[in-house]
Structures are given as structure tokens and as C-alpha cells.
Chains A and B, each alone.
Chain A
Amino acid sequence: MKYVSAFFAIAFGLLVLAGYFVPALEPLQALLISWAGILLAVASLIGVFNLITVHGEKIRSREKNSGYSSLLLVSLVLTFLLGLALGPSHPVMQGVVESVILPVEASLMAILSVTLLYAAIRLLRRRVDVMSVIFLLTVLAVLVWSLALPPYGELALFGNTLRPWLTQVLALGGARGILIGVALGALTTGLRVLLAFDRPYGGK
């Protein structure tokens, strides 16, 4: 089975890759990517089923805090059945999104501000070296230079000159280096998978 798996990964992967360079293969590339999209949707359903199994097992074996698992299962099954019956764009489903998903996501984002401030203060107390000082000075500079004072608006020198220079020249160079570094890493990892040096789908 491991040879079949490696053959599938290499053959279909190389066909999709060839589609980027050979225009005649573009329709085949689109078809293969579309099939992968279907399989990813099926994989997400399997993931949800796995979530149900894990929490169902917790409830069955009466583990500690299994009450929370019951809440999770009830909310999951109710939302799924409602979504299956009405469709995700139905006003009731949109109400579910606006009353649970969006407020919780926004609240978690809001809590992040407190967590980030706390982390910055901890960094200043625990690790004072050149890099952390540069990091925190940059944070302060961007925050303070973004301020618009009510009577004056943005301060001309900081808002129009120094902040853009810091974010669009100094930080841009670093960000570009990080992006290209990440892309080179992704390229190497992808090629290792396509040449079957790495087989994350199973088989050594």
C-alpha cells in the first residue's frame, strides 16, 4: 500500500506542478485541484466526526469535565442538523453565526490586547538585551506615532515621515526577507514530498 500511496503523491503532484509551466495541462491541473478540494471537504467532515467520537468517549467514560464535552456535542449536533436542513445562508443560520461565532471571535481578539500587553511587559522584565529593546522601541514608536491628538490630528513629522519610513522601508526589508525565507522553506518541503523523501501520508 505504501508504494501505491507514494505513486499517487508523486504522479498527481507532478501533473499539477507541470500545469504551472505547460499551458496544455492547465485544464487537467484545474480538475485535479478541484478533486483535492472535494477530498478536503470530506476530510473536514471526518475531522468533525472524530471530534464527536473523542468527546463522546469522554462522556461515556465519565471523565473529569465531561459536562463541557456534552455542551460541545449538543451545540455541534444542533448546528449541523439545522445547517443541513436550512442551508448555511438561511437567516436562522446567519443568526447563529452573528450570535455565537462572531461575538466569541471578536471577544477572543479583544482579550488578545491584554495578553499582548502582558507579554510585552514580561519581555521587558525577564529578557533585557539589544534585540528585545529594539523590538519594544519599534512597538512603542509605531503605537505612539499612530496616535492622532484631538486638536492637532496626526503629528506631521511622525505621522507623515517617520512612521511610513519605519514601516515601509525598515520593516518592509525584514518582512520581505522573512517572506522569501518562508517561501524557500515551503518550496523545499514541497519538493521533498513530491520526490517522496518525506511521506506525511503514511509509509516510511
Chain B
Amino acid sequence: MRRRSSQGLGERLAPYVLLAPFLFTLIVFFGYAFVRVFYFSFTDYDLFATPKWVGLKNYLNIFRDIDFTLAMKHSLTFMLVVTTAQTVLALVLALVLNQRIRGINFFRAAYYMPSVTSSVVITLIFIWFFQRRGVMNFLISKFQEYRGIVGLFLLLAAALQLSLVGWEKLRRRPVSLFEPSFLFLSLLLSFIVVFSAVRFGLLTPREVAPVDIIWFNTTKKWPNFLGSLAFPVPLGAIMLFNIWTTAPTFMLLYLAGLQDIPRELYEAAAVDGAERWHMIRYIVIPQLKPITFLVVTMGLIGTLQMFDQVAILGGQAPRQSTITLAYYIYSNIFPSSATPRVGMASAAAMFLAILTSVIVYIQRKVLGEEGDHA
């Protein structure tokens, strides 16, 4: 009897013992920190003097701060644009990489590269790319110089391809529009023609002034027709970049999800005469709903907390063009050469936590219920 009860106790304790290491870090680094931040958000505290209780003053102050309203607007725009784009891109990438073609593992690894590389290093390289006299502007200038020639080359190749295919069709032979051997032939011929035209001076690149787009050091907004909803260009640059680095991780989740879809479903659909697009619309997307839920949730949380790329971009772009909520919190705790404003930062952090929970809750309601109906 005694033995059994002690065994029962041990069994009941086992999960907690196994959970203990994780619970310990969770309580110390998240639970305790959260409670402290919650307390600090009601105080005036500079990291040195004893915190002074000020009630709700910090919460009122952050809403009066133009930087905070800007940061909130930026974070929400960033969340909407990046989450949508990265989810769609991840799904498309996963569909492309879920095929049986030669060397697929190489492509999977290559596409995953942006996600495994250190975000700090990539951001630095990205900053060099977008300098006023950087690679990006150089490439755009080159493109503008040569776009006539490149356009001619492509047009010629397309015309050749069409005539070759047309000729075969006239002779009633089955041929696809992108017949590889014809494609090779037309590209080669077109290249030889255009190259020799340039070589003998019949075609010359256009004279254009070097492109001088300011990517970071600008307060310009885009797109203009959105009026006050437009976002600053530097934030747009960060968005592009963030989509590129985060989509591959989600692609991996989608890939795993795709492999779980039973083959029979496709076969049954094929028997019913479904096209590829129908399969995606009626099999893949509904089957991937749980994965989409996970991807969107992680995307929302990740984008709302976006910090590192803004921090590294730092002085390269004006503060009001890149500031996000997470960066606002940081810049209040460590303001440049001034006294820390821990109270304000804590209030903003609490606000961000609540905002994140509310958004994820709404998302769960919307996506979760739709999922049940499907």
C-alpha cells in the first residue's frame, strides 16, 4: 500500500521534475522580468534612484509622445505587410520546392540560406547594398543604360521562339510553347544578333545620369496614394529585407506540411479532372490550415517585436522613418547620452505585450473558426 502511494507520488512528480529546468528559466527570465516591468511601468525610475510611484502617468505620457504614435503606426504597417507577404512567399516557395526535380536538395538549402545567416551580418551587407553609390543604385543605372538592348534581345528571342513553335504547329506536330531545344536556339540566335549589333556600333547603350536614389537617409513616404497610411521608404527597405530573411523558415514548415498531405487526395482529384490550380485551391490550402495558423501567429509576433534591423540601421536612416515599438522601448531605456526613462519604456513594453496578445487573439478567432468550417 505504502509502496504504491509513493510510486504514485513519484509518477505525479516526474513531469514537474522534468519540466523544472525550463520552468526555472521561464520564471526567472520571463516571469520575474515581466512582474518587474509591470511594476516599473507605474514608476519614475532611472536605473539608479529608488523608483517613485507615479500611477498611470507613464501610460498617458507615451500616448502624448509623437515618437510612440509613429512607432505604433510603423509596427502595425510592418506587421500587416510583412506577415502577409512572407506567408504567401513561404507557401509559393514550398510548392516550388516540393517537386521531384534533380538537385532539389541544393535548392532547398540555397533558399534556406537567408534564414540561417546571422541577421546582423546580413543587415550590414544590406546597408552597403543600398548606399547612395552602392550596388543597388549601380545596378539600376546599368539597367537603365542597357534596357533598350536587353529588351530587344528578349523581343527577338520571343519572336524566334513563336515562329519556330508556330511552324511546328503548322506541320501538326505536338509541341509545347516552351520547347527547350527551340528555346535554346532562339536565345542563342537572338544573342548573336544583338551582340554583333552592339559590337559593330549599330546599337549603343543609352546615356543616362547615374541613379541616385536615397534609400535610407530620407523621410520620404511611399506609396503616395495611400496618404497618411503610406510608410517611410527606409521602413519599406527593412520590410523587403525582413520578408526575404524570414520567409524561408516558414517555407520549411510549409514543406513539412505538404509532405503530410495524403497522396490519395491528389489522385482522387486527378481522377475527377482537377487542374493543378484546383488542387492547390481545394486540397493544399485547406490541408495546410493548421500550418498557416502557426505561420501567421509566429509572423505576427515576430513582426511586432522587430528590433534588430532597425537598431543596426541606426544612424543611417532618420529615427522617425524607422522607429518601431520594440526600438522605441530600447531607446527609452538607453537614450543616447541622457538619463534612462525606464518607466516610459516599461509602459510601452506593457502596451506592446497587450497589443500582441489582442492581435493574436483576433487572428485565432478569424483563422481558427474558418478552419473549423472547412
Are A and B part of the same complex?
A: no
Q: Which residues of B contact A (CB under 8 A)?
A: none
Q: Which residues of A contact B (CB under 8 A)?
A: none
